[in-house]
Structure 1
Amino acid sequence: MTDNEKNLASGSYSADNIQVLEGLEAVRKRPAMYIGDIGEKGLHHLVYEVVDNSIDEALAGYCNDIRVTILEDNSISVWDNGRGIPVGIMEKEQKSALEVVLTVLHAGGKFDKGTYKVSGGLHGVGVSCVNALSTYLKAEVRREGKIHMLDFSCGKPLHEVQILGDSTETGTTITFTPDNSIFITTEYKYDTLASRLRELSFLNAGIKLSLTDLRHKKDDGSYKSDTFFSEKGLEEFVRYIDAAKEALIEDVIHINTEKQGVPVEVAITYNTSYNENVYSYVNNIHTIEGGTHLTGFRRGLSRTLKKYADDMKMLDKVKVDISGDDFREGLTAVVSIKVAEPQFEGQTKTKLGNNEVMGAVDQAVGEALGYYLEEHPKEAKIIVEKVILAATARYAARKAREMVQRKSPLTGGGLPGKLADCSSKDPAVCEIFLVEGDSAGGTAKQGRDRGFQAILPLRGKILNVEKAMQHKVLESEEIRNIYTALGVTIGTEEDTKELNLAKLRYHKVVIMTDADVDGSHIATLILTFFFRHMRPLIELGYIYIATPPLYLCKKGKVEEYCWDDRQRQAFIDKYGDGNESAVHTQRYKGLGEMNATQLWDTTMNPEHRTLRQVTIENAAEADHIFSMLMGEDVAPRREFIEENATYAKIDV
């Protein structure tokens, strides 16, 4: 047995377990390489990196309480009750292990296989990266009966490790202030952090994660806070995602096992919707592009359900062939595995490539689902009947799809008649505006740059796809127009629902609706369509929302567009000495109230406009929100509206 294996067996975690792979030099120069970007996403990623270290302690069995606090100045503090980062002197480095962990990239226990069997986090850049991108970071470590402390500025230690006093507890507290000379924004969003902590609580049953915001004090003197704790893990996760959907079966089939040395946890249920919602995770990281674990899950599910249906002779009278897609319609599932050395690939490096995982997940799902179906014949029958209905509907959808993709010489090679196309044929520079109504569409056509901007007017509110079968979706004229205008096709010879983006004609799809309640509703309907039926376009960063101004304010010869009431009030204060009646305000109720020049200047001109890019930071959370906003269940929607009545918006 090696020293590391002895350490793991005894639960010890010391300076000997820390291994150094490379230095930190490039992080401040090229931060996006390490944390994705220097915007909101990268800013929040700093918190996730620190929390991941605490989760690693939890996975190793030494931590069950993690507390995240947003301080008054937008600094972050992360406290845990783990073993505490080692503080002993490393023989090779002649420095404290605490200093090395916080100043050297890829230095940490997760690179020493004896310390952590598996660890969260995608690249293991860890707290050293957070340290490099913070103007100030303080590490407090409670271990060996003492409280040890080390301060840093921009990644450099300000002194040797200090001992602050005695402690009977163990654990680590990291407090850091993001560098505002690096990040575009340094304001943390409570809901974004809460969403990730909730997700982590479901993925790691038995660990308490809390979030407190010291920026928001309530009337009773307490601060805004939430505590996330899941006793049943993925079973509760699936119920949370499906909370606003009508259940097809009441049970959640929960699998928690280890196959071929791979810990596999899966939760499965079915609802009455027509969408497949499967979320896969490796070491707590959401694998957006799937991978071998997702392939194994789908294979095990389809094989086991098909065998059961054949054995029960439930498919004997079915006139259509059953495909893999049919077994997954109305399915909600979460697949979470732990892998010691995950191999990631794909465009966003979130596709698992480990081949050994496929068979492990396939076997785990096959065994557990097989037992469930045998022991629950009533639920098994309901699921198989749903599968047969899906297969029948798929044939109807294929006919509707053929209508979408059929070329018509009357409309310019299959393009919708209402589409005002651009002259450029390079998708990378072309953009299409999906505009609410023919009137605004006409104005947009006049105001656009015909070289690279296309306009597709949409009549009224498009179909709510959350409640519709696929063939009904494809029978909708407005939705067919979106498919054909974009050049996106669906399915292959195998008759799947997969999108084919090979002939996508625009890399910017801009949703442009009125800045009122109706406009917001229409934008949400369109977003729901993209999320449910064209999600890869969101994941590729191709979907945007235009932001037309609400007001045009005038005082004498001074004119300014204002996008919100705050800007309008600032104009009144500056030019009207605070007197509202001294300023002429034009309120734009709709895009059609602006002339072509105004629409170009404020909303379409790349030099002046503001576009909001639609991203999916947390797909499971977005799924929950879309189901709640657009589904059948009224109660959760009413609750959401009451909570957000003053200013309701959706971040995806």
Structure 2
Amino acid sequence: MTEEELTILPEEKRETVETSYSGDDIKTLDWKEHIRLRPGMYIGKLGDGSQNDDGIYVLLKEVLDNAIDEYMMGFGKQIDIEVSEYTVGVRDYGRGIPLDKVVDVSSKMNTGAKYDSKAFKKSVGLNGVGIKAVNALSTDFYIKSVRDGKSIAIEYSCGEIVSNSGIMPSDEPNGTFVRFTPDNSIFRDYRYREEYVVPLVKNYTFLNTGLSIYLNGKRYYSRNGLLDLLKENLTTEPLYPIIHLKGNDIEAVITHTKQIGEEYYSFVNGQHTTQGGTHLSAFREAVSRTIKEYFGKNFEYSDIRNGIVAAISIKVEEPVFESQTKTKLGSRDMGPEGPTVAKFIGDFIKKELDNYLHINLDTADILLKKILENEKERKAMAGVTKAVREKAKKIAIHNKKLLDCRVHLSDPKGDEDKKEASSIFITEGDSAAGSITKIRDVETQAVFSLRGKPLNTYGMPLVDVYKNDEFALLRAALNIEDSIDDLR
């Protein structure tokens, strides 16, 4: 039907014609076309490398995970990584992919050895997807396997085979080499940044003691596992020596600092689960309950955990993650025939942490003092927060400290693009605020003026911070009460 014929139909019939579909509208994409059309399903957000969870780092992790799995199975104690701004190469010294299956594992979806838990008992990659995503999303993808004096090398471009060397004799040590260049038409203006690659590599060494990873020729190695990780990431001195607990398929480190809130690092089968999951929830619960029972007092869990910095790593058979990017564990059980994750972690922490505190009484005393301080501060806060909040709102309204924008994050009816673009200028004094007010975009840019320099609150009791008028005014302006979820 032509456009002219369509326009003379009654509106209700016109809509039917426009929205009807036939068998011609049903399409089947091959593996690489689907990955390239819907990359977010496989690697999360794309990005350009300016954030540590951008897609190009997921591509690196997918390749590196396979090398780590070989080490975890007892093959190869070294991994070599070369990273330039645009290209990555990873060489492991494991068993090497079976030569007749290199094409299959690199270009056939849902193909791999990790469906059989006997070959890769506690692997992080189980779906046979990761390396295919890397292949499809790279303009140049090269894979070479060396196995028992023979090798095969295959080169792809955007998932299409460019060359295949066939099986040839080789004097190289066993292992697999993968080199890839992400597609710049998908990851626009990307580049790999050392500040994100180095922590990624360090985490792998912390979780695999005895493994040497050479990144652009520099060796990274850990003797003490998560203990080294926590020392690396602490931004202030611990209140007591870091508690380090190790068992079969589990490792944990715990300490407290003067900082406010809770800070955790969680891992499953060597994968950094940045969004936590069932294992982190079980760990937080087990630590709180064990400490509460040790002291025999009815402490609030929030008082026990305020200031805690800790890490937990477990190994699970056939882990279930909530997405292909594997940032959150969904598994309820340790394996097909194992205990639940909660019971496994709970039993371990109950035994090992309780024993530790009974043996290390100095640490227990410091911990008790910290919990009592948290309790005292929480109760004091309850008495001042409401009064300060009400005072702040009155002052803010009266003095017009906040010159709001028309659209902000907490605006339910606001334009989504504008909400994401909304921002606030925090100025020192009314004069600076006045200058910005004259040139701001009133749709998306708010202005808030402080009275002179803000208070340096480092190390101050939280009650004193909350009593500070300028801090209270700023909290009111940002719409932050007990959570940042309602941020304007």
Alignment TM class, shorter chain as reference: 0.7 to 0.9
Kept after mapping to 2: 8 A contact 1:53/1:126: no
Against the structure 1 CA distance between its residues 142 and 344, is the aligned structure 2 distance closer, same or farther, given a 3 Å change threshold?
A: closer
Matches within 5 A, 1:193-342: 193-212=197-216, 225-242=217-234, 244-250=235-241, 252-258=242-248, 263-310=249-296, 322-342=299-319
Q: Partners of 1:460 and 1:477 in 2: how far apart?
A: 12
How far, CA to CA, are the matches of 1:157 and 1:362 in structure 2? Answer: 49
Alignment of 1:96-175 (within 5 A): 97-120=101-124, 125-167=129-171, 169-175=173-179
The one of 54, 57, 75 equivalent to 1:44 is: 57
Deviation (angstroms), 1:123: 6.8
Q: Does 1:421 align with 2:404?
A: yes
Cα displacement string for residues 469-516 of structure 1 (whole angstroms, at most 9, x for unaligned residues): 4323323333323322222221xxxxxxxx262x44x3xxxxxxxxxx
Contact 2:357-2:364 at 8 Å conserved across structures: yes
Aligned twin of 2:76: 63
Structure 2 residue matching 1:435: 3-state secondary structure: strand
User: How many Å apart are 1:63 and its aligned residue?
Assistant: 2.6
SS at match of 1:322: coil
| CA gap 1:358/1:463 in 2 versus in 1, 3 angstroms | farther
CA distance in 1, matches of 2:115, 2:398: 54
State the identity as a percent: 34
Helix, strand or coil for the counterpart of 1:28?
helix
Please point out which of 363, 366, 369 is paired with 2:347. Answer: 363
Task: Write the distance in 1 (CA, Å) between the matches of 2:142 and 2:232.
Answer: 36
Counterpart position of 2:88? 76
Cα distance change, pair 352–168 in 1 and its aligned pair in 2 (3 A): closer
Find 1:478's aligned residue among 464, 470, 473. 470
TM (normalized to structure 2)?
0.82
Conservation of the 8 A alpha-carbon contact between 1:55 and 1:120: no
Deviation at 1:78, TM superposition (A): 0.5
CA offsets 1:6-37 (integer angstroms, 9 cap, x no match): xxxxxxxxxxxxxxxx9333112222332223
Amino acid in the other structure paired with 2:245 = I
Give the counterpart of 2:186 among 182, 186, 208.
182
CA offsets per residue over residues 353-403 of structure 1, 9 Å max, x none?
A: 333211211211111111011111121111111111111111122234324
Q: 1:403 to 1:68 in 2, by over 3 A?
A: farther
Give me the whole-angstrom Cα distance separating, in 2, the residues matched to 1:165 and 1:482. 69
Q: Structure 1's 390 and 284: CA in aligned 2 closer, same or farther, altered over 3 A?
A: same
What is the alpha-carbon distance in structure 2 between the residues aligned to residue 240 and residue 32 of structure 1? 32
- Compute the displacement of 1:197 (Å): 0.2
Cα drift, residue 184 of structure 1:
1.1
Distance in 2, Cα, partners of 1:379 & 1:329: 16
Query: How far does residue 114 in structure 1 lie from its aligned partner after superposition?
Result: 3.0
Point out where structure 2 has 5 or more consecutive residues left out of the alignment: 1-29, 333-339
For residues 158 and 248 of structure 1, the distance between their equivalents in structure 2, rounded to whole angstroms, comes to: 58
How far does the alpha carbon of each residue in 1:254-297 deviate from its partner, in whole angstroms, 9 at most, with x for none? 22224xxxx22111123343442222222333333322212221
Over 3 Å counting, the alpha-carbon distance change for 1:123 and 1:195 in structure 2 is: farther
Q: Which runs of 5+ in 1 are unaligned?
A: 1-21, 89-96, 213-224, 316-320, 491-498, 507-652
How many Å separate the matches in 2 of 1:279 and 1:466? 24
Deviations 1:623-642 (A, max 9, x none): xxxxxxxxxxxxxxxxxxxx
- Partner residue, 2:335: none
CA distance in 1, matches of 2:383, 2:374: 14
Q: Alpha-carbon deviation of 1:309?
A: 1.5
> Is the CA contact 1:43–1:185 (under 8 Å) kept in the aligned structure 2?
no
Asked if the contact 1:273/1:466 (under 8 Å) is kept, the reply is no
What does residue 94 of structure 1 align with? none
Secondary structure at 1:433's aligned position in 2? Answer: strand
Q: Does the CA-based 8 Å contact 2:395-2:473 persist in structure 1?
A: no
TM-score, length of structure 1 as denominator length = 0.62
Q: 2:374 is aligned with what amino acid?
A: A
When structure 1 is superposed on structure 2, of 152-161 and 231-240 the one drifting more is 152-161
1:29–1:229 distance in 2 versus 1, CA, 3 Å: same
Alignment equivalent of 1:30, drawn from 19, 30, 38: 38
TM-superposed deviation, 1:463 = 4.3
